Every structure is written in C-alpha cells, then in structure tokens.
Structure 1
C-alpha cells in the first residue's frame, strides 16, 4: 500500500466507524513508513506522537521527520521522570529541531495527593497506584489530545501480555473518537534496535542498564533477561496490571 492510494480528504474527529474500519484494513499490513506517510497526508499537524522517549518513540520521531514532518510531538511530564529522560528530551529538541509540547499534571491535584497520602501512595494498593497515574498521566493526556484528530504511539504487541492484540489503527473512543495509530505494532524488539543502530538514533541511557520500558523513576526497575519488557513497571503488582491507563486494555 502507498500513501498516495488514500483519499486526500481529512477524516476529522466525527468520522464514521465504518470508514475507520476500512482505513484499518488498508493499513494493517502497511510498513511504518507507509503508515506515517498516510498520517501526514490525511491528518498532518492535527495528529501528534505521544512520546515517553522510550526506544520505540525514538524510532517514531526519527521516521516522522522523514515521512510525516507535520506531526507534532508531545510528552507527559509527571514530575517524577528519571534525569536520563529529561536529558534525552533536550537531545531530541537539538538534533531534530522540533518543539516537544509538554503537559504537566494539575498542580492542585498533585499537592492534594501528596499532602494527604504522601509521596509513595502508589505502593499501598492497586487503586492508590491507579489514582496517582490518573492524576499524573491520564488527565494530562486528555488535555494533550484535546482538539486533535489522531495520535501515534510506539505500542508493540511483543511488549507484554496486555498488548498482544494491539491493532495498527484503533478507534479511540476514550478520547472522543480520535484515530490512534500504532505503526510499530508488529515490530520485534530486535527490529527496533536494528533501526536505532542503523540510523544512529539517540536513545535513553537507561536502556543500556537493563530498562527496556521506562516510566516514572519510583515505578520502574531494570528487568531480568527472562522477564517481559514491561516487567519492571509497577513490579510489585501482578503482570495483568502493568498499564497506567493511557492505553486501556480491550
């Protein structure tokens, strides 16, 4: 499939599910480059890459500069990211010459959470952890997606048991019917790293220290060779809960 085979009329937020399914069918077997070219043609600056600056997101940013230069890039700064992530954000700004739109949690909600429950409430229970994620991630994501028609993520099916059914194109009803695209859904970890090395793409230094998945510093650890890629996220919980709410499990 080539990007030129798609119609040029923008989909817009109020597109019909049937049309979305038709688009999904045509993109499911497309390459990441073709998917991004389609995003550029159909959505342009009305779509954005949601980046936590993990290795998959770095592949997307590099590919987008070549195939979808209109795509914006945004990140959610929870206030608890590791220093290595902030360093990489600056590297990206300088190397690619792009702004990185940054969304913070609402100050009042964070102040109330930490004043009443302390700095590590998320370790007490699954419900407490989800409350922290909702304040620091889920609500800022809603603001980040407001007014957009689509968003692009680095989700891959191999990453965890919760992501094995990730589709290339999803109808994101959680955010008003946006188009959510996962161009790397079928990529293996090896494919990701081959692209990084072949194209000299910068990446988070924590990846070299055994962190395949990187989130907030207190909630991320290095993983063992036999563990899945997201085993270091909220490791005190059972594996079926290894999501923060940004990507609801279907």
Structure 2
C-alpha cells in the first residue's frame, strides 16, 4: 500500500519519493533513466509532480519488443533516444552471447550514459535479492562521477501498479498479456519467458540466428561442442539456466 501505518506514524510512500527527488536535485537537473517499463513511467511522473528539473533518456538496445517501442512513440515523445554505436546483434558475433553470469550487454546498452550526473532510476528492493542492499542514494561503483537516486526503492510491485492506476498513467500493453517485466528480447534473465518470446517474434528469432551464424563462423574452439549455429542458439535459448562448464567461458575471450 502507498499509505501505511508504521510504529512511527503514517507513511505516505508517494510523498516520501517526491521528497527524495527534491532533496537530491542537482543544479543542472536530473538524468532520468527511462526504459518504458512500469517503474520508469512511475518515476517520470513523480519527477513531474516534484517539480524538479530533469531530462528523460532512453538507452536504445535495438532488441526491445516492438510493442514497447510503439508505446513510447505514442505516449513519450519527449524522451531523448540515446542510440548505441552498433546494434546489439552486430556486437554479439564480436563478443559472444550473453549469459546470466556474463551480461556484457547491460553495461554496453542499458546502463550507458549519465556520467557526471545524478541519475534517477526505478530500482526497487522488491525486484530481486541482489537489489535488497541498494539505497535511495548511492554512487555508481563503475563510474564514481555518477550518482544514483532511487526514489521508489522501498515500493512493492503492488505499490507501483496502484500508483499507475490511480493516476491513469498509460503503460505498455504487454503487461496486460501476462508479462511481469519488459526488457530486451531473449534476455538471459527472462527464463522460460524467452521461449514464449521466440514463438511470438519469429522475425527476431531469424535475426538472432543470423548473428549466431556469424559467431559460429569465427571457429572458436569453445563452439565445437555444437554441430552448427542453430543448435548453439537453441541451447542458449533453452538451457542457459543450467550449469555452465569452464570451456564455455572461452566464448568471451
């Protein structure tokens, strides 16, 4: 619930989030990281209500669901689109396919930008075990000039949806079709959802297969375990949660 009774009285999470944004506001305004998902549309609206200065930036990954891109075009034309130097599927043959323990794509595509700025994110404790130690204000460990402000750090999923519905905020249609999180297609963190995506987006499967074909053609020793690029792709898509053997790490060398 957005309004809760605590030992210290009534807590209004919306007011707390707005106060956090006001308190840490830098003179030049915020860099608001916007993915188009439920958390980022919430922090964007909170920043508007707080009256703080900010620019909203979307890091284009080039492998987002088409429904998400369409939603952003329909409802968030003010968002600045930061395009990468190369599309993801051009980088994959050069670096190797990402895995749960080696997600090179996040740093290169999703987390770039914001150096020297105060970056507003929708990071929340409820999202994962790894995020339970995050704070409402923190310094990026990879770039010490980048500061993170996480105004909804203590919100639950229900809190986010309550805020969205109470304020009539439009959101991507994929949520109403059973998607819990929206991000890059075939992300290693998506689990079984990747197979659902493969069935829904056959054109993206073909595009990935072309990238895997180029990767396989490099002839790296670690890829000889698969008979061809198609077997390698479907192994990656279906079995990435299984134990990774040492020789598979050579793909990234």
Over the aligned positions, Cα root-mean-square deviation in angstroms equals 3.0
* C-alpha spacing 1:235/1:158, structure 2 compared with 1 (3 Å): farther
Deviations 1:50-92 (A, max 9, x none): 1111111111111111213421111111110001211221233
1:146 is aligned, of 115, 122, 127, to 115
Residues 22 and 52, structure 2, Cα contact 8 Å, conserved in 1: no
- Offset, 1:210: 2.0
Pairing 1:130–2:103 present: yes
Instruction: Indicate the residue corresponding to 2:175 in structure 1.
Output: 207
Supply the distance in 2 between the matched residues of 1:179 and 1:116 (Cα, whole angstroms): 29
1:206-245, aligned counterparts within 5 Å?
Answer: 206-219=174-187, 220=190, 222=193, 236-237=240-241
Using the size of structure 1 for normalisation, the TM-score is 0.63
Deviations 1:72-119 (A, max 9, x none): 11111111000121122123325xxx3x122222228853533785xx
Deviations 1:154-200 (A, max 9, x none): 01101111111221111224223332111111111111111100000
1:151-190, aligned counterparts within 5 Å?
Answer: 151-190=119-158
Supply the distance in 1 between the matched residues of 2:29 and 2:52 (Cα, whole angstroms): 12
| Partner SS for 2:76 | helix
Residues 48 and 71, structure 1, Cα contact 8 Å, conserved in 2: yes
Supply the distance in 1 between the matched residues of 2:182 and 2:80 (Cα, whole angstroms): 19
2:21 is aligned, of 33, 36, 51, to 36
Supply the distance in 2 between the matched residues of 1:116 and 1:49 (Cα, whole angstroms): 29
Supply the distance in 2 between the matched residues of 1:92 and 1:167 (Cα, whole angstroms): 30
Instruction: Indicate the residue corresponding to 1:105 in structure 2.
Output: 84
Instruction: Indicate the residue corresponding to 2:73 in structure 1.
Output: 90
Pairing 1:54–2:37 present: yes
Supply the distance in 2 between the matched residues of 1:211 and 1:188 (Cα, whole angstroms): 17
Give the paired residue count.
Answer: 184
| Partner SS for 2:31 | strand
| Partner SS for 1:65 | helix
Segments of 5+ residues of structure 1 without an aligned counterpart are 1-27, 224-233, 239-250
Segments of 5+ residues of structure 2 without an aligned counterpart are 1-12, 195-237, 243-253
* C-alpha spacing 1:201/1:114, structure 2 compared with 1 (3 Å): same
* C-alpha spacing 1:112/1:56, structure 2 compared with 1 (3 Å): closer
| Partner SS for 1:208 | helix
Supply the distance in 2 between the matched residues of 1:235 and 1:190 (Cα, whole angstroms): 31
Instruction: Indicate the residue corresponding to 1:13 in structure 2.
Output: none
| Partner SS for 2:58 | strand
2:49 is aligned, of 61, 66, 70, to 66
| Partner SS for 1:31 | helix
Residues 50 and 152, structure 1, Cα contact 8 Å, conserved in 2: yes
Instruction: Indicate the residue corresponding to 1:227 in structure 2.
Output: none
Residues 106 and 135, structure 1, Cα contact 8 Å, conserved in 2: no
* C-alpha spacing 1:156/1:134, structure 2 compared with 1 (3 Å): closer
